Amino acid sequence: MMSKKPLKGIWKTGSVTSLSLCIATLIGVATAQAKGVTEKDVLNDQANTKNVVSYGMGPHVQRFSGLKKINKSTVKDLVPVWSYSYGGEKQRGQEAQPVVHDGTIFVTASYSRLFAVDVKTGEELWEYNHRLPEGILPCCDVINRGAALYDNLVIFGTLDAQLVALKRDTGKVAWKVKTDKYKLGHSITMAPFIVKGGKVIVSNAGSEFGAVGWVQAYDAKTGKRVWHRPVVEGHMGYLNGKENGITGKTNATWPGDLWKTGGGAPWVQGSYDPELNLVYFGTGNPAPWNSYKRPGDNLYTASIVAINAETGKLVWHLQTVPNDSWDYDSVSELLLFDLKKGGKTIKAGAHAGKNGYFYVLDRSNGKLVNVFPFVKKLTWAKGVDMKTGRPIETGNRPGNPVGKKKGEVVFSAPSFLGGKNWNPMAYHPGTGLFYVPANEWGMDIWNEPITYKKGAAYLGAGFTIKPVFDDYIGALRAIDPKTGKIVWEYQNNAPLWAGVLATAGDLVFTGTPEGYLKAFDAKTGKELWKFQTGSGIVGSPITWEQDGEQFVAVSSGWGGAVPLWGGEVAKRVKHLNQGGSLWVFKLHKS
């Protein structure tokens, strides 16, 4: 908002020059305020180092910055500028990635809140608290992963499945829409993103309650829905309010009416190729977890899907876990990059799945280019068929329950929390390496009888998560996508649940549940710097420049799925304190 203080005394001279100067100043201020985030700004986000206007720091979600003032030599001088508290009463998991524009940082927090903070001072500019109703059904903590910037709006999703657009300068509601019914288990925890034509793309969470997964597009300026695409076969899609064809073919891979409560929610960030005009999502687990209740492949759950951003039509899919029996949903991001192979450049995508396999595919058609394990303990499959993309299973499925008795208990690795979960990896075009926040854990898992009930958990399974190794669970791994080689790794006692950032300064940043933001040498993995934030870090760091200085920011606040679902692993981290704060760093000037 424009301050009135600078105007004092302007009129005292009574001169025409002063009056003209005042009018020109007012016009200039109004013009500056009116300048919003454009479609070009969003698509160019990775190259423009002065702002971060999208989740993933660009439509390809590479989480790479060309900035290098903070580098291997200078990172030792990185110090906190300020810390901003999200408040003491709502300290739960803080999984957000901030966004930054014109000196203001916008960050979401637990319980569907959003804050605007001055980058230089850490002073709060405004706060929005979404009024949540009774009876919301979040699966895995009351988290939110971030917002999108477009025009003069800040857009984010809520735990009661609303999409909300706030005015960037005041935090007042510009528009909000109900995307689905929260009483059926629908919620939004992912960060929406902008594509061509000013459409904002959003997806839902809720598979654990039988909520059917979907991806939707809205007009970012008005909130009007443009298209709706379910990701479970049999459900009708819509374009501009009219039927747009069902997804797949009814009952092709689902028996009876189970597709009506089939899960598949793509609850993690998507990516976007502006040239192909395709959006990419990983889809969630089928419902219920008890796979004996739903024989068949259960398309399009546990898959990577490509959707036309203009029409909402499904273009291709790759199912990574047919008839999923372990909650190995494929929600991890498809990170887009160019892969040079055989003298050609492939428009590729990379996906590190909960199932423990790293997939490299052609993002124009979904064909596999390479696939390999990125965790050391795998029991459920011994490989992936390169022609079909189907896993070569070992038979390590939990048993079928009989009557009221649970089925046979089996030990499976990875655990259902995944070789990698929602927390995004990074790609460094200079090193050609992916930096993957992996975890080594397994689980005892069994099936139980289950019947669908509206608004109730729809699992039909039980589990206990266990560490695989005594000395570590989390492992930040630098991986070569051409060979599958792990070039280096950093091992962490607790699970890694934060996002990763890579920079042209040849640094890799990530956080740990123990509270540290850490920086590593991108080529060797040597730990170069760390800072204790006071609570576990499960957010995603970013970097940008302002007034000639490079900044780094990250949310701190322990929570998320690990302490809620972690079994024996949760015991290892039970001493960690909750929190809720935003930390901003820059180089110390000596």
pLDDT digits 0-9 by tens, 163-190: 999 999 999 999 999 999 999 999 999 9
Percent of the chain with pLDDT strictly greater than 90: 87
Strand partners, 434: 427, 479
Can you give the pLDDT at residue 565?
78
In 3-state terms the chain splits into helix, strand, coil percentages (rounded to 5) of 10, 40, 50
CA distance 56 to 64: 8
Q: Which of 141, 327, 329, 506 is catalytic?
A: 327
Can you give the pLDDT at residue 139?
86
**Residue 322 clears pLDDT 60, i.e. is over it:** yes
Tokens of 48: 């423009």
pLDDT interval class at 1 (50, 70, 90) = very low
Residue 349 dihedral angles phi and psi, to the nearest 5°: -140, 145
**Residue 21 clears pLDDT 70, i.e. is over it:** no
Q: What is the mean pLDDT of residues 467-484?
A: 96
Please state, rounded to an integer, the average pLDDT across all residues of the chain. 93
**Residue 437 clears pLDDT 60, i.e. is over it:** yes
**Residue 370 clears pLDDT 60, i.e. is over it:** yes
**Residue 65 clears pLDDT 70, i.e. is over it:** yes
**Residue 576 clears pLDDT 90, i.e. is over it:** no
Can you give the pLDDT at residue 10?
28
User: Which residues lie closer than 8 Å to 256 by C-beta, 6 or more apart?
Assistant: none
Can you give the pLDDT at residue 91?
78
Can you give the pLDDT at residue 244?
98
**Residue 532 clears pLDDT 80, i.e. is over it:** yes
Tell which residue, 296, 270, 297, 265, has the closest CA to residue 281: 270
In the 8-state DSSP scheme, what is residue 17? H
Q: What is the mean pLDDT of residues 297-323?
A: 98
pLDDT interval class at 435 (50, 70, 90) = very high
Q: Are 265 and 202 in contact (CB under 8 A)?
A: no
Q: Are 262 and 284 in contact (CB under 8 A)?
A: no
Q: What is the mean pLDDT of residues 482-495?
A: 97
Tell which residue, 330, 198, 343, has the closest CA to residue 268: 330
Tokens of 529: 């710097």
User: Which residues lie closer than 8 Å to 551 by C-beta, 6 or more apart?
Assistant: 81, 119, 543, 544, 545, 584, 585, 586
> Which class for 572: exposed (0-12), middle (13-18), buried (19 or more C-beta within 10 A)?
middle
- Greater pLDDT, 31 or 95: 95
Can you give the pLDDT at residue 205?
97
Can you give the pLDDT at residue 87?
87
> Which class for 87: exposed (0-12), middle (13-18), buried (19 or more C-beta within 10 A)?
middle
pLDDT interval class at 43 (50, 70, 90) = very high
Tokens of 227: 């298209």
What the chain holds in terms of domains, given with CATH numbers, is 98-587 (2.140.10.10)
Strand partners, 273: 278
Residue 188 dihedral angles phi and psi, to the nearest 5°: -125, 120
- At 205-245, the pLDDT tens digits run 999 999 999 999 999 999 999 999 999 999 999 999 999 99
- At 401-416, the pLDDT tens digits run 998 899 999 999 999 9
Q: What is the mean pLDDT of residues 304-309?
A: 98
Can you give the pLDDT at residue 16?
38
pLDDT interval class at 131 (50, 70, 90) = very high
CA dihedral sign, ordered 365, 370, 375, 378: positive
Q: What is the mean pLDDT of residues 298-309?
A: 98
| 362 counts as catalytic | no
CA distance 284 to 329: 4
- Greater pLDDT, 62 or 2: 62
Can you give the pLDDT at residue 36?
93
**Residue 318 clears pLDDT 80, i.e. is over it:** yes
**Residue 23 clears pLDDT 70, i.e. is over it:** no
Q: What is the mean pLDDT of residues 559-571?
A: 82
pLDDT interval class at 375 (50, 70, 90) = very high
Q: What is the mean pLDDT of residues 349-366?
A: 98
Can you give the pLDDT at residue 571?
78
- At 234-267, the pLDDT tens digits run 999 999 999 999 999 999 999 999 999 999 999 9
Strand partners, 65: 503
